[in-house]
Each structure stands twice: as structure tokens, then as C-alpha cells.
């Protein structure tokens, strides 16, 4: 049981490049989400999904796209990377909604945009 797996662990991009951050979970969790973590800012929600085929925006969705074609996978896409998107990105999942279930985080992707 691997839990939540994120790839890659590190990535450097040039401004304007596109990229997909991968997230997969093997716990049959319905709820998945993406956060970004910047120094002094805590964790901010980018996008989330309550199940396959359903996605919605979080606090800071601009510049990011997501899709949820399967229960297991929830990729995050940067269509045209900007230096402001330099951050550590965490994917998380929980069994159902967040009102009564803890979230399990992946190890993170450290992304630098030059």
C-alpha cells in the first residue's frame, strides 16, 4: 500500500513551459486535492475533486488545470509556467469529504520556474 505518490520530486522549468505534476493514490479515496506551500503562507488549496469526473476550484486556482478521469489519479497541469508558480506542491487524499476524514499527503513536488 503506497499511499499517495507524487512525481516528479523535483523539477526546474523555464517561464512559458508546460508541465503536468502527477498524483496517484491506491487507497480508493474519493476526495483528492492539490495544495501549494510557500514560505510563511501555509498550505493553500489549488483545486480539488470529490470523485471521478468532478473537479472544482480552491483558493488559488489561476494558472492551473486539473482533471479526474479515474479514482486513483489526479494530475495538476501548468499550461504556461510563471516564476510566481515556484513552490512546493502537495497532493492529498481522503476517504470521503473533509468534514470527518483526515487527509493523507504525498511527499511533494519541488518546482522552480526560471
Per CB under 8 A, residues contacting other proteins are 33, 35, 40-45, 48, 50, 58-59, 90, 96-100, 102-103, 105-108
Q: Which is nearer to other proteins, 46 or 78 (CB)?
A: 46
Compare residues 18 and 57 and give the one whose CB is closer to other proteins: 57
Q: Residue 48 or 85: which CB sits closer to other proteins?
A: 48
Half-sphere exposure of 97 (CA within 13 A, CB side): 1
Instruction: Burial-class residue 73 by CB neighbours within 10 Å (0-12, 13-18, 19+).
Output: middle
Amino acid at each position: 500500500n503506497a499511499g499517495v505518490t507524487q512525481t516528479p520530486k523535483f523539477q526546474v522549468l523555464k517561464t512559458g513551459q508546460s508541465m503536468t505534476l502527477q498524483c496517484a493514490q491506491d487507497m480508493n479515496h474519493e476526495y483528492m486535492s492539490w495544495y501549494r506551500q510557500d514560505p510563511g503562507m501555509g498550505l493553500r488549496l489549488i483545486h480539488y475533486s470529490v470523485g471521478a469526473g468532478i473537479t472544482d476550484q480552491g483558493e488559488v486556482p489561476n494558472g492551473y488545470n486539473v482533471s479526474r478521469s479515474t479514482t486513483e489519479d489526479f494530475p495538476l497541469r501548468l499550461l504556461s509556467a510563471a516564476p510566481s508558480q515556484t513552490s512546493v506542491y502537495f497532493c492529498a487524499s481522503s476517504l470521503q469529504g473533509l468534514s470527518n476524514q483526515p487527509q493523507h499527503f504525498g511527499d511533494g513536488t519541488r518546482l522552480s520556474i526560471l
